[in-house]
Amino acid sequence: MVYSLGIDAGGTYTDAVLIRDEDGAVIEAGKALTTYPDPIGGIKQSIRLLDPDKLKEVDIVSLSTTLSTNTILENKGFPVGLIMVGDYNIPEVLPAQMYCIVSGGHDSNGEELKPLDIEKVREFALSVKDRVSAFAVSSLFSIRNADHELRVKEEILRLTGHPVVCGHELSQDLGAYERAVTAFLNAQLIPITYNFTKSIVLEMENIGMNATLLMLKCDGSAVSIEEALEKPIETIFSGPAASLMGAAYLSGLKTCAMIDIGGTSTDVALVRDGLPEMNESGAVVGGWSTRVKAIRMETVATGGDSHVYATDDPNRKIYLGPLRVMPLCRAAVLYPGFLEKLKETKLPPRKNISQFILPSVFYVKTAFPPIEMTTLEELVYGIIDSDFPVSWWDMFERLDKKMPMASVLDALVKKRLIQPIGFTPTDALHILGDYNEWNTEAAFLGAQKLERLSYKSAEELAVFTKKQVALNMASSLIEYLVPGISKKDVEKVLSGSYDTKFAVSIPIVLIGGPSAAYACEIGNLIQAEILTPEFSDVGNAVGALVGNGIYRTDVLIKKNVYEKDDVPITEFLLFHSGRSESFASYSEAHEKAIRLGNDYVLSKMLKTGLQENQISVSYTEKALQTGADIPYETKISFVGVGTSRFDVQADKIPDFVKFINPEKSKRC
């Protein structure tokens, strides 16, 4: 029997699933806590929860991970030297500390604007080669002519031996600065991705697994590990992409909206006719705009680990997030004796109360190395334990009867040096009996500690929290489905202020550990079919494995008129992957573009293990007319769609596997 293994290393949990290739059934699932700062520990734990004999029969492993995203968000990438070629405007802020701007670049027709200043490139490369691990280069209009980028790459390789990432290799879209950012971030990730992949391969060897390794991209497609190592930037936001593909597969739906309930946030996305809806402007990560094609998604900073708290607000306001904390119910399981600590904790003086100083909030050190701390941060960090949570009172006693400053605790949390513990939506679900993964008594105690601040009993606080989480999810979904709608109007409709209600005409699939608990709450707010398929709690890992059949590329045809010996001459330029070709007629250029796009997509998809007869390539055209019959410019977008190795025919398998049968999904 042959199996495939899907792995998703998410923010809270790392999931692993085994799918039987014969009929596409999910056979086993393993769930472990994600390990920081290196996710490999959680991946090993989740894999080892599966049948070792079946693991030896696995032929495909596909991985979705937050590694790239977190590395960029935490600014922990390897040092990179950035070279920008051309005379274009550079914003005041750049992601690179070591960079240079040199003369060169091309125009929109691929003609050289200025000669490349290769000598300045040499000087820069030699001056920083001992301080960087890679280089990135972006040249003006390199998507029309990549000659200068390629010459820079060749020279740097000769001088330093370091990897060099070119902007045209990552994007075919206009925007030299955005391509520079994309190339820079990609170069930062190469060493990290290489070491991570090496660890995965070693673990596969240790358990006797001889399989092909794939990685999921942020557009919902899986690529060979070779391409993932060249372009790790394309794996940012692969988690939401995995959720979306998993939602479609587990529900058996080709068109549906997805709500993925994670630890930190909730993501909303849409798949239509089997293809994810895309964000054509490029992904934004860590505040940097890139040219990476990703699924279009709406994110709300509400998740199972969002901090729920009150501060004795005159309006009796209860806050939900965005700070992420460890749920009290989980802390009670991880730290024996924590329940007693929670019972003992007093209410702090009201003048000191904040989201960081509460009777329900505790702290424990993380495994992150302590760097770049102020004197006050060092002082507070030094009195927090690494093996057991401390309360505000513990810190008060250890600081000689001085209250720790909330701003200092905030700074240490943002640097990931300490892990806060507090009341969360996960605790609320434990109180209500909707979820029982951890310790319910700790959840009750935490809610009771907040009674004098929230003016609600434990049960009332739990009900309020659950409704607020559902409201945020529903609001995010409507804002996604109706771009431009006012958030204020959405909230008014959902709260019942108007005599109307939103109705969604496509099914909504919920993904995530406690997703089933929110189905009825969301159903009360929106008129829609809401599904929670079996194995929805490991939907991301399923999506990491089934999203292997999509690839995209663009080919551009541009009309160019110039004079030669006072005679006007018309040519048609074809641009693709930094290369151009001239044709005498539009029909010739168009014919070549169709062949080129089809062949390129096909060659890329064959590397993911698909056969040629499993791949279908289609294209759409957008033409810019100027009054003439022949377009001035034509963009031809190609999409290759592969038949999943798990696609089955209902007429061949009468009892369609229950987990992909919508009739067997949980409904409100």
In 3D space, the residue among 98, 222, 237 whose CA is nearest the CA of residue 162 turns out to be 98
Residue 295 reports pLDDT greater than 90: no
- 532, 518 contact by CB (below 8 A): no
Q: Over the chain, what is the mean pLDDT?
A: 86
- 65, 10 contact by CB (below 8 A): no
Please report, for residues 247, 296, 472, 524, 582, the alpha-carbon distance to residue 529 in angstroms, rounded to integers and kept in the order given. Answer: 14, 22, 18, 11, 53
Q: What whole-number distance in Å separates Cα of residue 152 and Cα of residue 178? A: 19
Q: What whole-number distance in Å separates Cα of residue 124 and Cα of residue 85? A: 13
The confidence score (pLDDT) of residue 653 equals 30
List of residues 6+ apart from 281 with CB closer than 8 A: 289
Q: How confident is the model at residue 572 (pLDDT cuts 50, 70, 90)?
A: very high
- 49, 31 contact by CB (below 8 A): yes
Buried-exposed string 556-590: b where 16+ CB fall within 10 A, e elsewhere: bbbbeeeeeeeeeeeebbbbbebebeebeebeebb
Buried-exposed string 493-515: b where 16+ CB fall within 10 A, e elsewhere: bbeeeeeeebebeebbbbbbbbb
**How do residues 49-103 score in pLDDT, each as one tens digit?**
999 999 999 988 888 887 777 777 667 678 899 999 988 676 667 778 899 999 9
The confidence score (pLDDT) of residue 388 equals 96
Average pLDDT in the 196-204 region? 85
Q: How confident is the model at residue 564 (pLDDT cuts 50, 70, 90)?
A: confident
Query: Which helix (DSSP H) or strand (DSSP E) does residue 10 occupy?
Result: none
**How do residues 362-412 score in pLDDT, each as one tens digit?**
999 998 888 788 999 999 999 999 999 999 999 999 999 999 999 999 999
**How do residues 6-52 score in pLDDT, each as one tens digit?**
998 887 788 999 998 888 889 999 998 888 767 888 889 999 999 99
Residue 488 reports pLDDT greater than 50: yes
The confidence score (pLDDT) of residue 657 equals 31
The confidence score (pLDDT) of residue 62 equals 87
Buried-exposed string 175-208: b where 16+ CB fall within 10 A, e elsewhere: bbbbbbbbbbbbbbbbbbbeebbebbeebbeeee
Sketch the domain layout of the chain as residue ranges: 80-185, 253-532, 550-642
**321: phi > 0 → left, psi -120 to 50 → alpha, else beta; which?**
left
Q: What whole-number distance in Å separates Cα of residue 337 and Cα of residue 327? A: 16
Average pLDDT in the 288-299 region? 79
The confidence score (pLDDT) of residue 548 equals 56
**How do residues 159-171 score in pLDDT, each as one tens digit?**
999 989 998 888 7
The confidence score (pLDDT) of residue 91 equals 66
End-to-end, the C-alpha distance of the chain in Å comes to 37
Percent of the chain with pLDDT over 70: 93
The confidence score (pLDDT) of residue 626 equals 61
Q: How confident is the model at residue 425 (pLDDT cuts 50, 70, 90)?
A: very high
Q: What whole-number distance in Å separates Cα of residue 449 and Cα of residue 461? A: 11
How many residues make up the chain in this entry?
668
* Highest-pLDDT range among 226-235, 261-270, 286-295, 440-449: 440-449
Residue 607 reports pLDDT greater than 80: no
**How do residues 115-150 score in pLDDT, each as one tens digit?**
999 999 999 999 999 999 899 999 998 888 889 999
The one-letter code for the residue type at 371 is I
Residue 666 reports pLDDT greater than 60: no
**Least confident segment among 59-73, 196-210, 399-413, 449-463:** 59-73
List of residues 6+ apart from 270 with CB closer than 8 A: 244, 256, 257, 258, 276, 277, 296, 480, 481, 506
Percent of the chain with pLDDT over 90: 42
The confidence score (pLDDT) of residue 110 equals 85
Neighbouring C-alpha atoms within 13 Å toward the C-beta of 474: 29
**Least confident segment among 103-117, 189-203, 595-609, 643-657:** 643-657
The confidence score (pLDDT) of residue 651 equals 35
Query: Which pair of structure tokens corresponds to residue 396?
Result: 């008060």
The confidence score (pLDDT) of residue 619 equals 92
Q: Which residue has the tokens 């994600």?
A: 34
The confidence score (pLDDT) of residue 74 equals 64
Alpha-helix runs per DSSP H in 303-439 = 328-334, 338-344, 375-382, 392-398, 406-414, 425-432
Environment class of 316 (CB within 10 Å of its CB; exposed 0-12, middle 13-18, buried 19+): exposed
